[in-house]
Amino acid sequence: MMTYPKPIDDQSYLINSSNHKSLQQTAKTDPNNFWLDIAKRLEWMNFPTIAGNWQFQKPVSIKWFEDGLLNVCTNCVDRHANVTPDKTAIIWVDDQGKTPTHISYAQLFKEVNAMAFSLKELGVKKGDRVIIYMPMIPEIAYAMLACARIGAIHSVVFGGFSSESLSGRIQDCGAKVVITANEGLRGGKTVPLKANVDTALLQAPQVEKVFVINRTSAHVPMVAGRDIVYVPNYAQVVTPEPMNAEDPLFILYTSGSTGKPKGVLHTSGGYLTYASLTHQWIFDVQENDIYWCTADAGWITGHSYVVYGPLANGATTVMFEGIPNYPNPDRLWQIIDDLKVSIFYTAPTAIRSLMQAGDEWLETSSRKSLRLLGSVGEPINQEAWEWYFHKVGNENCRIVDTWWQTETGGIMMTPLAGVHNLKPGSATQPFFGIQPALLDDLGKEIDSNPAEGNLSVKSSWPGQMRTVYGDHSRFEDTYFSQFPGYYFSGDGARRDADGDYWITGRVDDVLNVSGHRLGTAEIETAATMDHSIIETAVVGFPHPIKGEGIMIFAIPGAHVTHSDDELKAIIKQTIRTQIGPIASPDAIHIVKGLPKTRSGKIMRRILRCIAKSEFEKIGDVSTLADPTVVEHIIEVFSAKK
Ligand code: WTA
């Protein structure tokens, strides 16, 4: 295995050989004082005296800085608007390639106050839930921060989710206000956001008001008394709501192995402390950096590393509305040159798709402003890592491969650019204060190296999620039941002889498609919403660009007369309607039966072998209710390839 040695004693990094060891030591031996000291990076109305107060045994309870009082918006906006009003907070790059918009901290203050004022006028109060369903325009950040300012809990729903998904989330969190745009614009195509909201609200009539931001000139139908075109009123300054550190900041829905998506709840003080710290230390963000994370604000990466982390640090954060290959696969590289981006954070799926487009697309840019690269969302394969390092970064940039989850709020494992050796494909070491453990299937910790097991965490950290919104027992069951006393991530990992970690992927029924998490059960339920399909089984299979592709085996009803091609079109459309285009299957096989045990459980393991064409690994099928079904599925699968 190739390793890339650490930069020798480069003290220009914020975390370097001089301070790394002592920080690590304090975080380990005196976590309380370590985190209280770290909390000083925020501005508090009441500085906390307690750091962590938690237990992973049932009843699970997690609190950080519980006697602290602060406002997240003040921390991200006001304090920088006071000290560095002219510094650029956000550089917004639109889909169409117009001149980028620079928004200073002083302007951000004005915009966020205007939005907060309008929300207050609507009667939104502390603790109320607000759904944000918007494109990547600056207003999405204003909306999030405005909610934080008045103490409302936002829940951002990614614009690629359908009206069905949107309405499920609105109902689950009981939102009365939705903020949206008339349309979104991505890769030259419009996204009918407001129309989706209208459809969603047919099933969620409790929503009283819809704010509509006009992104395009399109006129969309407006419901009198409910829908309001947002017009900023700059005359007012809204006093920030004093929030307890443990008051909720946001809910973000994410898929699990069972049931409907869970509302992951993050609170104010711990989350912001952790997002801000990890952002600054891991990306080595210094005074004049131009930092760009390509994630959409609809995902946790967009929350922590486009909006909250960078703005809490008074940094300059780039916000991109478009997609990597529109109008051409050199779009990202052009933007890097144009804005002189120094720190760039993206997902392996984007790297792979641009790598596939060809090296010639790198020739129109120099990317010489770059000094640090990051990767997130899925394991990065060595080939993509090498291309990122040698070609994109011209061998001038260290790469941080960051492992974390919606649930963890911020990065949990990563090399530190000024300290660690880099190993292509390895997230290497836990961040300060994080105590990972590899557990065998019986829950026993494996201490030796090398080792492989279920990736868990032994002690809490400030960015940890606090509960599943409205369902604390689901929180306990999902993360703390399988291995009592530990937080279980759902990922598998390997620890090599040096003690460096390699994430091997999900060990539960969750797929990671282009870095997006999707539960197999969720897709199966969605596919059977059309009456022509009676049962389905979904598995992942290796996909050269997406990392993992979605394969569906579907059984049509006995009296269905559609052709296989018609059925496939129906399944695709049904899933797009139920979940959204991101869950659109990559392969569909219409079959007569599924491999089930005599008790009726689908043996996905067998389907996974078939999906990978690893027929020899299927093994003994004699215990199946109908062993002949396996041969039939292989036949269908092989014929359709
Ligand atoms: C996967 C995204 C390997 C993992 C921040 C995790 C990764 C899931 C990495 C969380 C990485 C994330 N290497 N796998 N560097 N980062 N993952 O909640 O399976 O959208 O459980 O959060 O992505 O996805 P989520």
Q: How far apart are CA 604 and CA 616, in angstroms?
A: 16
pTM, two decimal places: 0.96
Residue 259 confidence class, pLDDT cut points 50, 70, 90: confident
Q: Is 303 a pocket residue for ligand 1 (Cβ < 6 Å)?
A: no
Pairing of strands 69-70, 44-46: antiparallel
Q: Which two tokens stand for residue 243?
A: 């929030």
CB contact set of 535 (below 8 Å; sequence gap of 6+): 528, 554, 555, 594
Which pLDDT score, from 0 to 100, does residue 640 have? Answer: 57
Using the mean position of ligand 1's atoms as its centre, give its distance from the Cα of residue 378 in Å: 5
The pick from 301, 426, 468, 503 for probing ligand 1's pocket by mutation, whose C-beta has the most ligand atoms within 8 angstroms, reads: 503
pLDDT at 2 over 80: no
What pLDDT sits at residue 166? 97
Compute CA distances 492 → 285, 299, 455, 501, whole Å.
30, 22, 5, 10
CB of 491 within 6 A of ligand 1: the answer is yes
In 3D, which of 531, 490, 515, 416 has the Cα closest to residue 6? 416
- pLDDT computed for residue 1 by the predictor: 65
Give the separation between CA 96 and CA 585, rounded to whole angstroms.
29
3-state secondary structure of 467: strand
Give, to the nearest 10 degrees, the angle between helix 31-39 and helix 269-282.
90
Per-residue pLDDT tens over the stretch 592-610: 999 998 888 889 999 999 9
Tell me the torsion sign for CA atoms 523, 543, 372, 292. negative
| Residue 85 DSSP SS3 | coil
pLDDT tens per residue across span 345-398 = 999 999 999 999 999 999 999 999 999 999 999 999 999 999 999 999 999 999
| Cα–Cα dist 464/435, whole Å | 13
Q: Is the pLDDT of residue 641 over 70?
A: no
Q: Is the CB of 255 under 6 A from ligand 1?
A: no
Tokens matching residue 63: 């609190």
- Tens of pLDDT, residues 159-168: 999 999 999 9
Across the range 186-209, mean pLDDT stands at 97
CA 430, CA 450: separation in Å to the nearest integer?
16
User: Nearest residue CA, atom 12 of ligand 1?
Assistant: 377
pLDDT (average), residues 199-214: 97
Give the distance (Å) from ligand 1 centre to CA of residue 512. Answer: 8
Q: How many CA atoms lie within 13 A of 206 on its CB side?
A: 14
Q: Is it the case that residue 174 has pLDDT exceeding 80?
A: yes
Number of neighbours of residue 435 by Cβ within 10 angstroms: 15
Closest atom of ligand 1 relative to the 427 alpha carbon = 15
Average pLDDT of the residues of the chain? 96
pLDDT higher than 70, residue 180: yes
Can you tell me the distance from the alpha carbon of 524 to that of 219, in angstroms, rounded to the nearest whole number? 36
Q: How far apart are CA 74 and CA 70, in angstroms?
A: 8
Whether pLDDT at 308 is above 80 = yes
- Using CA atoms, how far apart are residues 96 and 321, in angstroms rounded to an integer? 9
Strand, coil or helix: 527 = helix
Q: How far is the CA of 119 from the centre of ligand 1 (A)?
A: 34
Q: Quick one: pLDDT band at residue 9, thresholds 50, 70, 90?
A: confident
Q: How many CA atoms lie within 13 A of 54 on its CB side?
A: 25
Ligand 1 centroid distance, CA of 474 (Å) = 21
Residue 211 CB less than 6 A away from ligand 1? no
CB 279 less than 6 A from any atom of ligand 1: no
pLDDT cut 70: percent of the chain above it = 100
The closest residue, in CA terms, to atom 15 on ligand 1 is 403
CB 585 within 8 A of CB 572: yes
The burial of 50, by beta-carbon neighbours within 10 Å (0-12 exposed, 13-18 middle, 19 or more buried), is given as middle
Q: Which helix (H) or strand (E) holds 111?
A: helix 105-121
- Measured distance CA(538)–CA(116) in Å, rounded: 43
Å from CA of 257 to ligand 1 middle: 15
Q: What is the mean pLDDT of residues 63-67?
A: 98
- 432 has a pLDDT exceeding 60: yes
For ligand 1, the distance from its centroid to the CA atom of residue 376, given in whole angstroms, is: 6
**Do the Cβ atoms of 417 and 374 come closer than 8 Å?**
no
Region 84-102 average pLDDT: 98
Q: Which whole number is the average pLDDT over 113-131?
A: 98
301 Cα: distance to centroid of ligand 1 (angstroms) = 10
Q: What percent of the chain has pLDDT over 90?
A: 94
Q: Is the CB of 402 under 6 A from ligand 1?
A: yes
Pair of tokens at residue 293:
């994370």
Residue 256 pLDDT more than 90?
Answer: no
Comparing CA positions, the residue from 334, 376, 322 lying closest to residue 351 is: 376
CB 45 within 8 A of CB 71: yes
